Amino acid sequence: MKATLPKLSSAMTASTGAQALEIGQISPVVENVLASTEIIDIHTHLFAPSFGKLGLWGIDELLTYHYLEAEFFRSSHTTPDQYFALSKTQQADAIWRALFVENTPLSESTRGVVAVLKAFGLRTDAQNLAEARAFFGSQSVDEHIHRVFEMAGISTVVMTNDPLDPQEAPIWLNGVSEHPQFRAVLRLDKILRQWTANWQVLAGQRYKVDAQASEKSAAEVQRFLFDWCKRMRPMYMAVSLPDTFLYPAETAGNRLLTEAVLPACLELNLPLSLMIGVRLQVNPALRLAGDALGRADLRSLENICRTFPENRFLVSVLSRENQHELCVYARKFSNLMPFGCWWFLNNPSIVEEITRERIEMLGTSFIPQHSDARVLEQVIYKWSNTRRTLAPILANSYRLLVEDGGRVSRNDIERDITRLFRSNAESWMNFNKS
Ligand code: FIX
Ligand code: ZN
Q: pLDDT tens digits for the chain (434 residues)?
A: 444 555 556 555 555 799 999 999 999 999 999 999 999 999 999 999 999 999 999 999 999 999 999 999 999 999 999 999 999 999 999 999 999 999 999 999 999 999 999 999 999 999 999 999 999 999 999 999 999 999 999 999 999 999 999 999 999 999 999 999 999 999 999 999 999 999 999 999 999 999 999 889 999 999 999 999 999 999 999 999 999 999 999 999 999 999 999 999 999 999 999 999 999 999 999 999 999 999 999 999 999 999 999 999 999 999 999 999 999 999 999 999 999 999 999 999 999 999 999 999 999 999 999 999 999 999 999 999 999 999 999 999 999 999 999 999 999 999 999 999 999 999 999 775 54
Q: How many CA atoms lie within 13 A of 122 on its CB side?
A: 21
By alpha-carbon position, which residue is closest to atom 1 of ligand 1? 240
Ligand 1 in reach of 179 Cβ (< 6 A): no
Specify whether the CB–CB gap between 254 and 260 falls below 8 A.
no
Specify whether the CB–CB gap between 243 and 205 falls below 8 A.
no
Q: What is the CA(67)–ligand 1 centre distance, in A?
A: 10
By alpha-carbon position, which residue is closest to atom 12 of ligand 1? 343
- Ligand 1 pocket test, candidate residues 43, 276, 344, 372, most atoms within 8 A of CB: 372
Residue among 194, 188, 197, 222 nearest 208 (CA): 222
Ligand 1 in reach of 372 Cβ (< 6 A): yes
What are the respective helix, strand and coil percentages of the chain, to the nearest 5?
Answer: 55, 10, 35
Measured from the Cα of 240, ligand 1's closest atom is: 1
Ligand 1 in reach of 288 Cβ (< 6 A): yes
Ligand 1 in reach of 41 Cβ (< 6 A): no
Ligand 1 in reach of 343 Cβ (< 6 A): yes
CA dist., res. 356 & res. 349, Å (int)? 11
By alpha-carbon position, which residue is closest to atom 9 of ligand 1? 288
Measured CA to CA in angstroms, residue 331 lies from 9, 105, 238, 336, 358 at distances of 39, 40, 22, 9, 10
Ligand 1 in reach of 282 Cβ (< 6 A): no
Instruction: Give the ligand with the smallest distance to the CA of 187.
Output: 1
3-state class (DSSP) for residue 206: coil
Ligand 1 in reach of 305 Cβ (< 6 A): no
Instruction: Give the ligand with the smallest distance to the CA of 374.
Output: 1
Q: What is the CA(314)–ligand 2 centre distance, in A?
A: 13
- pTM, two decimals, is 0.96
Q: What is the CA(19)–ligand 1 centre distance, in A?
A: 43
Measured from the Cα of 238, ligand 1's closest atom is: 3
Ligand 1 in reach of 37 Cβ (< 6 A): no
Residue among 349, 327, 331 nearest 339 (CA): 327
Residue among 308, 307, 305, 278 nearest 291 (CA): 278
- Ligand 1 pocket test, candidate residues 67, 193, 343, most atoms within 8 A of CB: 343
Ligand 1 in reach of 65 Cβ (< 6 A): no
Helix or strand (DSSP H, E) at 316: strand 313-317
Specify whether the CB–CB gap between 337 and 367 falls below 8 A.
yes
Ligand 1 in reach of 370 Cβ (< 6 A): no
Ligand 1 in reach of 162 Cβ (< 6 A): no
CA dist., res. 32 & res. 122, Å (int)? 26
Ligand 1 in reach of 240 Cβ (< 6 A): yes
Residue 11's pLDDT is what? 55
Helix pair 195-204, 215-232: axis angle to 10 deg: 70
Measured CA to CA in angstroms, residue 425 lies from 40, 223, 235, 326, 408 at distances of 8, 27, 9, 18, 24
Q: What is the CA(160)–ligand 1 centre distance, in A?
A: 10
